[in-house]
Chains A and B, each alone.
Chain A
Amino acid sequence: MFHSPPAKPGLTSCRSPEKETFTCWWKPGSDGGLPTTHALYYRKESSETVYECPDYHTAGENSCFFNKNDTSIWVNYNITVVATNALGRAFSDPVEIDVVYIVKPNPPEKVTVTVMEDKGWPFLRVSWEPPHKADTRSGWITLIYELRVKLEEEIDWEMHLAGQQKMFNIFSLRSGGKYLVEVRCKPDHGFWSEWSSTSYIKVPDYFHREKSTWILITVFSTFTFLILMWLLHMNRHNLKHCILPPVPGPKIKGFDKQLLKNGKSNQIFSALVVPDFPPATSSNYEDFQVEYLEVYVRREQELVLEESKDLHNSCLKSESSTSDCDSGRGSCDSHTLLMAKCREAKEGERQTDRECSPMRTEAQRRLKDWEEEALNYAHAGIVSLEMSSGRVKTWPSVFSPLPRYSSSPLDQQSSLQMAKQLSLSTSSYLTQPGHSTKEALGQSYWDLCLSSKQPHLLNPPTPVCRELQAHSDVNISSIGHKRAPAGPRSPALHTTEYVEVQRVDNKDTLLLQPVVQGCGRMGGCFQMPHGEVYSKVKGVDSDNVLLLQREGMGEDRCPCVEQETNEVTGSCHKSCTVSTTQKPSGCIYTAVPVRDEMATMANGYVDTATMCTLHTC
């Protein structure tokens, strides 16, 4: 057997549990086959005295226990272990320690865990005692604690640092769970102790309290959800319309196939006409601005409708006959009897027309615009004519309110102003009273021509009217002039007369008003009627003849009406040769055969083309 001196032992650790005593352990090396003894020697700092371990047994085997008397704090110990056997010695490496740094206390004692309740919610209260050996009361040693908790089935611990306190609360527990709790401690400068023995605790069930609330909430929300679903189901159509609105079909009526099948063309065409346009409101026609219409039926069966100037100057419709100058044509251009009577005015008209012609063409161009503008004036009684060629359209001229016609000159003046205003507002040309100066009239006349903003209510002529227009070769021109009762007529007064359609009331009564007291047309009949001559559509007879009735002061025009009525039957070919010329007042009658489209007349649009000549009285 091989014997050898012992191997070098080694000090494993030295520990002090309470900073008053300490223990050192060593690990012996191989003993070399011989019985080996170990001894521990130590030396205190700054002292050469070597001491041997006072107690080898208290702490177990291979240990050395230093009791209180042998323990000094803040003193460096130089410790060495020597192994000795028969063949030799072996010294371990010296270890220097300072007791204050090797303190490792015992685990806390008397760990108790209880379940307590805080407003219905349970929590754990853990309490413990410091290790009995550690003297924390005198402050010799200061310990801090730490505990850990976990559920029985879990793996990871939940750590809680408790500081120097000896009690701790744990919240957020799972109901019915079983918890494990352990505590350990550490001095302010030292090592952590071992974990205390595990304490078990079971949290009582408070499951039902929690769940009942959730059940209530779930039931309530489900109920609400069902109600909502039911409501949605009931309104699914509405929702569908809301979310996926149906594509609107074309609003254009177009042709109704059924009507086509029925075969009544009248109905078909009437269906195309937009009813209530222009709307025939019951508003006073004072609000309307009606322009004077000059209806001119050309030889070529073309109606040249021009906006007539109601002023004296306006009657300066050029007499450029059937040329395509769409300038205002006076009645002089008419091939009818009126022509002969309008010689006088022709001159003036020609002048003005020439001047105006350039504008005319422009105005002509603006027809389209006027058409659109006409819509804006749907409310006003409008008589519009659309040329078959679609070139010229008539438009009602805005004029002063009807009552004003019969008013005194002052009123007329005011009405003139008003008319002006109205015209301006509606961007239509207002016919100015005749009593204004000629220049002004001329100005207005020009304005009339130039105004591109003239509101021209254009009414799509009814097929009937159009038809009538085509047939008619009567140069119908109506000029309504409002003139001062006593205003002297200027030679420039146009001779054409214009009917001013005041309105069409809801009784389908077309109220007409002579815009121009164009007596000149009649050859000297310039006297301004005192009263306004109103032409009122009396009605439509069975023959679809528009019966006009003259109202208002002034001469009795009944004869005129009657005559016209007689005249106008069927088609408008005939001109209303109402011998009302003797009447000083402007007597304008318009008669238009109205067929089934009379309903459309309610819009206030009268196809003056179909009207017979207007007679001014």
Chain B
Amino acid sequence: MALLYGLIWRLLLALVRIKRATVSWLRVRLRTWKGRFWQRTMAALLLPVPASEFKQKAGANQSSDGDGDGDGKGAGSRRSRWLSDGISLEKLPVHIGLVVAEEELSYTDIANMVVWCMAVGVSYVSVYDHHGIFQKNNSWLQEEIVRQQHNLLGGDDSTFNMELLKNGTDKPQHFVVSCRPIVKVLSPEDGKHSIVQAARKLCHSVEKKEWSSKDISVSMLDVLLRESKNIPDPELVVKFGPVNSTLGFLPWHIRLTEFVSLPSHKNVSYEDLFGSLQHYSACHQRLGQ
């Protein structure tokens, strides 16, 4: 069953990528067409946002990102702007990891970044610190994210109805049935500890003569790791703080992850985050070839 869910998850990811590639292709072809009309048409045809919500009033004053004025017009235009920023990128990561390598944590700033990530179209955001403090205060962070979602995106949160996954085992259904953005809070336990647990399981199977040691392969270990915690590989990690280390963040999953370092997560701006997304969009991975 786990294999089936894994296959369906990979198929959904592939469909998201095909859709993004199609949007890029159309953008290039329609570049000569002027005006917002074609942008709106593309967005209405290809994006999951209701066309009526995609409003770009000419000359409208766009309120700045950090404002929590909660004003309907400001929130609507901010959401539109962030969404079109996401569309403008050649590629967008499916999973962004926000790794905080600082001792003092700011829940509001992390919550802002989570909301911005989802507003530009990222479907999976993970938050990590190497002491596991965010995970211990998971509910506090969740409340802050919901609060910032209202502040920044307005009262109508039907578009960004996110799933805030709790600690422990993820039910596979979350990834098959739900198309809502997902926020996951991670700690070092999700790293090496998870690999060790999977290793122990495999060794138990060998002890019981269900498998031979020669049967153990990379894909077998990969499937086992994703059975209990189906975390997609992060394409981009934004690391905050002066320490140049991954600090134990998902060692198995980060083999091809792009790393962008920012000095601090405190008072981080939308432009800082978008700059990281632009860096990711511009990078070219050869995958060994």
Q: Do A and B come from one complex?
A: no
